[in-house]
Chains A and B, each alone.
Chain A
Amino acid sequence: MIPGSFEYVRPTSVEEAIAALVEHGDDAKVLAGGHSLLPLMKLRLAMPAVLIDISRIPGLSYVRVDGDEVAIGAGTRHHELEKDAVAAAEVPILPYVASQVGDPQVRHRGTIGGTVAHSDPASDLPTALLALGGTVVVQGPNGRRSIPLTDFWLGFFETALAEDELIVEIRVPRTGSAGWAYEKFTRRANDWPIVAAAAVGSRGGGAGGPLRVALANMAGAVVRATATEEALARGASIEEAAALADQGTSPGADMHADQEYRRHLARLLTRRALEKAAGAPAAAA
């Protein structure tokens, strides 16, 4: 399979990339690792006239502590996040979840900014990021703005990013020693999750804030399990709260799972994730 023809531009600064986005508008797509975009282009589901390759822009790959937050450069590749010592100490859910993306070859190419921009509801890192909370820092012709992660993913392949904006950084709270877990259910080793649940925080709002839960593949975009979070805040048991995990979700059906099975998985994986995050003994299947 061969992508349709396009013009290839390779800016060397964020400003140049934004100028290209301004010039080409909707005809352009940004290329980072290309592991979501190129498959779509090979299937001709995406046929951008211009491809803006941002992978040569220096200074977009980093993980550093900035006050109460960890700042991650949008160009940070999954394998870099997986091995990053700062991330391991400050926000340990992220290196683990990065290690669960695809396979090593995919992780050598894919970037955190790319997976955030793509807005696939079955993506691993967005699920963890949504549970963490925090912001996406985007830059456009008029400078930078921050978009809360909870407002960023609008639906299937749809985000709050404007046509002339580039994601430059992801910021998440430092969770340190707070509990966390990521429970991913797949049929085969390197598949996307049929459903996944990420949990971060502490019961009673200790280290890392109150327990938050996000779900993959339970709606058009990654979603928070708000009914579960509210129940936990009211003091419900993990078992009671997890039983509400699929409330307000709208899972799809495909050859892997129907809607009711996905709802079952959301409840089960949420319970397992919460038990792990809270340090409770793991539940039986």
Chain B
Amino acid sequence: MQISITVNGQQRTDEVEPRLLLAHYLREVCGLKATNLGCDTTSCGACTVIVDGLSVKSCTVLAAQTDGAQVTTLEGLTGPDGEMHPVQKAFREEHGLQCGFCTPGMVMAAIGVLADNPDPTDREIREGLEGNLCRCTGYHNIVRAVQSAAGAGPAAGQVPQAQEVAR
């Protein structure tokens, strides 16, 4: 079947099998490998991306379900001038990663948390990230990074595409 998806601000049309998962579409068809597949069972959150402003686990969504949608992956966060997204910056500054495997999903889920609640408490951050596992158990710095990103203002809870589309 044919699907048209706006991925990181670029509209593209692809012929795909209906059973193609969004995670595989992004990695194999679009060549965007920041989105990791961890557990493949909707548990770990490594595959989290933003679809129409909401965080989702792309291992449990068909590419066909996002036909017509705006999808943002980690690659779509950096501006054309190379400027990092406030959440990316905060993860770097607070050292919110160890091995880095969970990081793309954590960053996208953190944007989702801040979109929902721009000024979360420590507990709200932890509950908001309950669907993302860090097997290095580096949670303290991840929570610090999200707190720090919240201080950067509303941009921390937005993805570049959503701003363009909002008009």
Interface pair B55/A105, CB less than 8 Å apart: yes
* Stretch from B16-24, B72-80, B85-93, B157-165 forming part of the interface with A: B16-24
- Chain B contacts of A38 at CB under 8 A? 60-62
CB distance from A29 to the nearest CB of B (A): 13
Interface residues of B in 22-71 (CB under 8 A from A): 24, 40-43, 45, 48, 54-57, 60-62, 64-65
Cβ-closest chain B residue relative to A109: B56
A1 within 8 A of B: yes
Contact A108–B19 (Cβ < 8 Å): no
Name the B residues within 8 Å of A41 (CB-CB): 19
Contact status B64-A34, CB under 8 Å: no
Bound state CA distance, A102 and B42, in angstroms?
9
Return chain B residues, CB-CB under 8 Å to A189.
127, 130
Contact B60 A35 (CB under 8 A): yes
Query: Does the CB pair B65–A34 fall under 8 Å?
Result: yes
Nearest chain B CB to A52 CB, angstrom units = 12
Q: What's the nearest-Cβ distance from chain A to residue B45, in Å?
A: 7
A141 at the interface (CB under 8 A from B): no
Report whether B18 and A105 are in contact in the complex, using a CB–CB cutoff of 8 Å: no
Question: B62 contacts which chain A residues (CB < 8 A)?
Answer: 8, 31, 34, 38
Interface 9-residue window, one of B5-13, B94-102, B109-117, B140-148: B109-117
Q: Which of A31, A35, A79 contacts B42 (CB 8 A)?
A: A35
Q: Whole-angstrom distance between the alpha carbons of A171 and B55 in the complex?
A: 29
Q: Within 8 Å of chain B (Cβ to Cβ): is A2?
A: yes
Q: Is the interface of B mostly helix, strand, loop or mixed?
A: mixed
Cβ-defined partner of A106 (8 Å) among B57, B64, B116, B127: B57
List the A side residues contacting B130 at CB < 8 Å: 103-104, 189-190
A261 at the interface (CB under 8 A from B): no
Q: Is there contact, CB below 8 Å, between B109 and A7?
A: no
CB <8 Å contact, B42 and A106: yes
Report the bound CA distance from A39 to B21 in whole Å.
11
Neighbour of B55 across the interface among A1, A55, A108, CB < 8 A: A108
Contact indicator A103/B131 (Cβ below 8 Å): yes
Q: A108-B55, A190-B131 are in contact. Are A53 and B65 (CB under 8 A)?
A: yes
State the total of A-B contacts with C-beta under 8 angstroms.
Answer: 80
Neighbouring A residues of B65 by C-beta, 8 Å: 31, 34, 53, 55
**Chain A, Cβ-Cβ closest to B108:** A105
How far, in whole Å, are A53 and B65 apart by their CA atoms in the complex?
8
B1 an interface residue at 8 Å Cβ cutoff? Answer: yes
Closest residue of chain A to B37, judged by CB?
Answer: A1
Please tell me if A42 contacts chain B, counting CB pairs below 8 Å: yes
Rounded to whole angstroms, the CA-CA distance of A41 and B20 in the bound complex is 12
Question: Do A8 and B56 touch (CB < 8 A)?
Answer: no
Q: CA of A34 to CA of B62 in the docked complex: distance in angstroms?
A: 9
Give the Cβ gap from A39 to chain B, nearest Cβ, in Å.
6
B131 surroundings in chain A (CB, below 8 A): 102-106, 190
Cβ of A206: which chain B residues have Cβ within 8 Å of it? none
Q: Which of A1, A53, A103 has the most CB of B within 10 A?
A: A103
Query: Which B residues lie within 8 Å of A1 (CB)?
Result: 40-41
- Shortest Cβ-Cβ A-B pairs, 6 listed: A103-B131, A8-B18, A189-B130, A108-B54, A3-B19, A105-B57
* Additional pairs, 17, CB under 8 Å, beyond known A31-B65, A41-B19: A2-B19, A5-B17, A5-B19, A10-B64, A34-B60, A34-B61, A34-B62, A38-B60, A39-B42, A42-B21, A53-B65, A102-B42, A102-B131, A103-B131, A104-B113, A105-B42, A108-B54
What is A's interface to B at a CB cutoff of 8 Å? Answer: 1-8, 10, 31, 34-35, 38-39, 41-42, 51, 53, 55, 79, 102-106, 108-109, 189-190
Give B residues with C-beta under 8 Å from A: 1, 17-19, 21, 24, 40-43, 45, 48, 54-57, 60-62, 64-65, 109, 112-113, 116, 127-128, 130-132
